[in-house]
Amino acid sequence: MNIDLQLVEGLKTPLYWYDLGLLQSTLDMINDCIKGTPVRVHYAIKANCNPKLLKVIAKAGLGADCVSGREITAAINSGFPAERICYAGVGKTDRELIAGMAKGIGYFNVESIEELETLDELASDYGYKPSVAIRVNPDIDAHTHHYITTGLEENKFGIHLSMLDKAIEFAHKSPNLNLIGLHFHIGSQITIMEPFKILCEKINGLTDKYRKSGIEFKIINVGGGLGIDYEDPDSNPIPDFKTYFDTLLKNLHLSEGQELHCELGRSIVGQCGSVVSQVTYVKQGVGKKFIILDAGMNDLIRPALYGAHHKIQNLSAAGESETELYDVVGPICESADTFGKDERLPKTKRGDIIVIRSAGAYGESMASTYNIRPTAESTLR
Ligand code: LLP
């Protein structure tokens, strides 16, 4: 385990705890895997925008995938070069589009014909020719939670295949836009390779088709989505990047000089973060016991929002052999404020330190101040 009682005892809880050593090993693994390949990895800032983590990731040489004007600012302030930033999102405002051009970002992942027309107009007014990749909705089931599936026809993301010709023709012919790529993202927490293989086949079909009309894409961006092991983070602290990149490189027909871009978020930062919390009460309910933590769904919303399960451990009772079943809950006035039901844990008492593991991705970045609670501080080691 990358965290123990000694490391966190006495710190103010609830707290986000990050293991920078694990983050660095994860980044080193990615860089080893892509060395000598046409793969360029962009870190999906939305997964965790803690400035200290961003600096480490920028230093490792990754680009940044942003989804708002403020994420672009955060990326640049943390040392990501503007030209290594790509910018996706279905609702980029005029102000955000102009800011992206002003900052000279690498390219825009454009999600609709309406957005293409707007960017075209703004670019002409602004006197700047932005590079664009067209985000395609490939209608692929990523076999993940329906809230984090993005590549299905019914989702709001990307341009549907039936409208793609029109979008590509518009971008290709526009004197104000520089069409450089195709962009995809089929979903998140994908733990099998099959959806990525299907994506590659779809991409090959599209690039062949447009090559016949004389359109070559310099960049193929497959988005992110690689999952992590929430149940056993100690056995699998670093996701299987090798199999992931091999799958893409083996199945995609890349042409000479073409770059393959990935936008990984969860797989980079997920395992290096934990929520550290203290037990406020162990409450006897009717037929069950509750562990009531000082961390709530405002600190980590994934269990409440997606029914996600994170491994829960009692650091104070590490040597305790007697176990009991508990529902582990937060203090917020919502029944969804539950981190685990019927969790078998060592006998727990008031004041014990509990950690919720694998919380580095979509934890701190999705935190809120619901119930006017303060946002948890973070500590990095
Ligand atoms: N690229 C695009 C266009 C995206 O929308 C996303 C994530 C990523 C890349 C990064 O995906 P990743 O490698 O992290 O799977 N809050 C949810 C996950 C939402 C993902 C949103 N988009 C959760 O906690 O599970």
Distance 86 CA to ligand 1 centre (A): 14
In Å, what is the CA distance from 211 to each residue of 160, 214, 221, 252?
19, 5, 17, 15
- For residue 170, the model assigns a pLDDT of 97
All residues at 6 or more sequence positions from 6 whose CB lies less than 8 Å from its CB, including other chains = none
At 197-245, the pLDDT tens digits run 999 999 999 999 999 999 999 999 999 999 999 999 999 999 999 999 9
Judge if pTM exceeds 0.85.
Answer: yes
**What one-letter code names the amino acid at 202?**
K
Distance 225 CA to ligand 1 centre (A): 6
Mean pLDDT over 168-191 rounds to 97
Distance 366 CA to ligand 1 centre (A): 12
Distance 26 CA to ligand 1 centre (A): 18
DSSP per residue over 39-84, as a string?
EEEEEEGGG---HHHHHHHHHTT-EEEESSHHHHHHHHHTT--GGG
At 91-148, the pLDDT tens digits run 999 999 999 999 999 999 999 999 999 999 999 999 999 999 999 998 887 776 666 6
The binding-site residues of ligand 1, defined as CB within 6 angstroms of any ligand atom, are: 44, 47, 65, 88, 148, 150, 185, 188-189, 223-226, 263-267, 302, 306, 361-362
DSSP class of residue 228 equals -
Strand blocks (E) in 105-157:
107-110, 131-137
Compute the C-alpha angle 63/66/68, nearest 5°: 155
The answer to whether residue 85 scores a pLDDT higher than 80 is: yes
CA dihedral 176, 181, 186, 188 (to 10 degrees): -90
- 3-state secondary structure at position 208: helix
Which strand (E) or helix (H) includes residue 211?
helix 194-212
